[in-house]
Amino acid sequence: MQYTANPDRYQDMIYNRCGQSGLLLPAISLGMWHNFGDDTAHQTKVDICTTAFDLGITHFDLANNYGPPAGSAEKAFGQILKEQFYGLRDEMIISSKAGYHMWDGPYGEWGSRKYVISSCEQSLKRLGIDYVDIFYSHRFDPNTPLEETMLALDQLVRSGKALYVGISSYNSQRTKEAHAILKSLGTPFIIHQPSYSMLNRWVETDGLLDTLDEIGIGSIVFSPLAQGMLTDKYLQHIPENSRAAQSKSLQTKFLNEENQKNIQALHAIAQRRGQSLAQMAIAWVLRKKQVTSALIGASRPQQVIDCVGALKNLTFSPEEVHEIDLYAKDGHINIWAKSAEID
């Protein structure tokens, strides 16, 4: 089906500079961690992506292992690029990553030069493009020299397969070390992708946000809605076909009494602000100057529309900040803590 992009798509979206680089990213980006595998109808994926682009979301975030099965999200988006987004590649930022398990054997995960470069090559084939705009080390590898992983990222840039590089779920100290290596190489390291939400505030306690400010690196925070916990979805019960009901990455134990109590209180604050809980959660992470973009996922187009609605009210009064802090408590939901060496 022929797609014609909204001619007014850039009017209302906010674009933020990524650290000290020349790259601008939309305040909200679309991720394909879930809902872009073979278990989702392709037309749904098309509708989510075209809705996002029509709203000014120019950044599409993938990884080699997104699916299921692994690789299927990149294949699906590659098809959308070819069929719906044909001729629009230069208006988009497309990112991918390597770090988690992708194929069998000793070379199918972590941070070796062998794995990182091979993985990027595979991602480009699945996407049907010559280069990605950003390529990330998806997690810190404690058993591979950091220099080796960073040199692999550097080679991807020098070989024209990535324009910029980033890291994901590295703690503050490892981020400083990675930055020092990449700066010495002259590699355009511009972005960090950590998890961050009102129920997962490790980037504050670890000092990562301050480090990013210090070294001039931007950030795109993933799971700002705490995998859907900070939405209206789980306020009453666990719906059928939800991420929690499917026993995916959102574990039902996260929806415990204490977390639910805090979520209900945050929902009441959002209502007083004239926002949904999801909209307030997105606005809350964007309040930090170090946060360039909030990375959302969606199972249907309306969720994208609702999330973009957060940009209508990004301001918090001191009283609101104080009240939110009473309930924005660590919910012990950080399933990526091991990569950040805080587990």
Residue 237 lies in a domain: yes
Q: What is the pLDDT of residue 256?
A: 87
Q: What is the pLDDT of residue 230?
A: 95
Q: What is the pLDDT of residue 233?
A: 76
Residue 84 lies in a domain: yes
Of all helices (H) and strands (E), which one includes residue 24?
Answer: strand 24-26
The CB density around residue 288, as the number of other CB atoms within 10 Å, is: 16
CATH label of the domain that carries residue 214: 3.20.20.100
Q: What is the pLDDT of residue 251?
A: 62
Q: What is the pLDDT of residue 250?
A: 59
Residue 19 lies in a domain: no
- Count of structural domains within the chain: 1
Distances in Å between the Cα of 201 and the Cα atoms of 17, 54, 78, 197, 229 are 23, 31, 34, 6, 15
Tokens representing residue 187 in the block: 């590699």
132 near 165, Cβ under 8 Å? no
State the Cα–Cα distance between residues 278 and 86, nearest whole angstrom.
32
User: Could you tell me the mean pLDDT of each successive run of 10 residues in the chain, 343 residues long?
Assistant: 93 98 98 96 98 98 97 98 97 98 97 98 98 98 98 98 98 98 98 98 97 98 94 68 52 81 95 97 97 97 98 97 96 93 87
Residue 4 lies in a domain: no
Q: Which domain holds residue 154?
A: 25-327
Tokens representing residue 30 in the block: 């679309």
Per-residue b/e over 145-163, b at no fewer than 16 CB within 10 Å? ebeebbbbbbbbbeeebbb
Residue 272 lies in a domain: yes
Residue 12 lies in a domain: no
What residues contact 327, with CB distance under 8 A and at least 6 apart?
198, 262, 265, 266, 269
**192 forms bridges with which residues in the sheet?**
167, 219
CA-based Rg of the chain, rounded to a whole angstrom? Answer: 19
**Minimal CA–CA distance to 60: which of 149, 139, 158, 127?**
127
Tokens representing residue 146 in the block: 């950091």
Residue 8 lies in a domain: no
Residue 335 lies in a domain: no
State the Cα–Cα distance between residues 334 and 97, nearest whole angstrom.
19
Q: What is the pLDDT of residue 297?
A: 96
Query: How would you classify residue 35: left for phi > 0, otherwise alpha for psi between -120 and 50, otherwise beta?
Result: left
Q: What is the pLDDT of residue 254?
A: 77
